[in-house]
Amino acid sequence: MSPGRHAVISATLVVALLAPGTTAAQDTNAAPPGEERSRNVPREERSRNVPREERSRDVVPASTAPQDPPASTAPPPPLGNAAAAILIDARDGSVILQKNADQRRSIASTTKLMTALLTLEEAEPGDVFRAATYDALPIESKIDLRTGERMRVEDLLEALLLESANDAAATLAEGVSGSRTAFVEDMNARAAGLGLADTSYANPIGLDDPANYSTARDLASLTRRLLGKRRFARTVDLASAELESGDFPRVVDNRNDLIGAYDFVDGVKTGHTNTAGYVLVGSATGRLGSKVISVVLGEPSEAARDVDTLALLRFGLAQFRRVKALDSDRPAASADVEHRDETAKLVPVRDLLLVTRRGQKVTTRVDAPETVEGELAAGERVGTITVLRDGRLVRRVGLVTAAEVPGAGPLRVIADELGGGALVLLLAFGAGAGTFVLASRARTRRRRDAERAARRRATQSAAAPPETR
Q: State residue 433's pLDDT score.
A: 66
**In 279-421, which residue ranges form alpha helices assigned H by DSSP?**
302-317, 410-418
Q: Which listed residue (47, 99, 106, 112) is catalytic? A: 112
Query: What sign does the dihedral 40-43-46-48 (CA atoms) show?
Result: positive
CA distance 429 to 443: 21
Do 24 and 72 contact (CB within 8 A), yes or no?
Answer: yes
Q: State residue 83's pLDDT score.
A: 98
Q: Where are the beta strands (DSSP E) in 50-168?
A: 84-89, 95-99, 128-130, 150-152
CA distance 395 to 248: 50
**Could you tell me the CA-to-CA distances from 289 to 65, 72, 286, 296 in Å, in that order?**
12, 16, 5, 23
Q: Decide if 109 is catalytic.
A: yes
CA angle 83, 114, 240 (to 5 degrees): 85
Do 294 and 266 contact (CB within 8 A), yes or no?
Answer: no
Q: State residue 10's pLDDT score.
A: 40
List residues bridging with 393 in a β-sheet: 388
Indicate the domain borders of the chain: 76-318, 323-401, 410-468
Quick one: three-class SS letters along 18-66?
A: CCCCCCCCCCCCCCCCCCCCCCCCCHHHCCECCCHHHCCCCCCCHHHCC
Residues of the chain with pLDDT under 70: 1-73, 408-434, 436-437, 459-469
CA distance 263 to 274: 30
Query: Which is nearest to 388 in space by CA: 345, 333, 326, 330?
Result: 326
CA distance 168 to 235: 15
Q: State residue 185's pLDDT score.
A: 98
Do 300 and 334 contact (CB within 8 A), yes or no?
Answer: no
Do 325 and 397 contact (CB within 8 A), yes or no?
Answer: no
Length of the chain: 469
Do 246 and 155 contact (CB within 8 A), yes or no?
Answer: yes
**Whole-structure pTM over 0.75, yes or no?**
no
Backbone angles phi, psi at 360, to 5 degrees: -80, 150
Q: Where are the beta strands (DSSP E) in 183-341?
A: 240-243, 250-253, 265-273, 277-285, 291-299, 320-326, 333-337
> 323-401 sits in which CATH class?
mainly beta
CA distance 16 to 167: 52
CA distance 270 to 253: 12
List residues bridging with 203 in a β-sheet: none
Report whether CATH 3.40.710.10 matches the domain 76-318. yes
Exposure class string for 147-156: b at 16+ Cβ within 10 A, else e: eebebbbbbb
Backbone angles phi, psi at 252, to 5 degrees: -115, 140
Amino acid at 152: R
Backbone angles phi, psi at 282, to 5 degrees: -120, 165
Q: Decide if 112 is catalytic.
A: yes
Q: State residue 312's pLDDT score.
A: 98
Q: Which listed residue (47, 72, 109, 214) is catalytic? A: 109
List residues bridging with 84 in a β-sheet: 297
Do 105 and 178 contact (CB within 8 A), yes or no?
Answer: no
CA distance 221 to 277: 21
Q: Which listed residue (72, 164, 221, 240) is catalytic? A: 164
CA distance 194 to 133: 31
Query: Which is nearest to 390 in space by CA: 31, 55, 96?
Result: 96
Task: Give the pLDDT confidence of 247-288 residue by residue, as tens digits.
Answer: 999 999 999 999 999 999 999 999 999 999 999 999 999 988
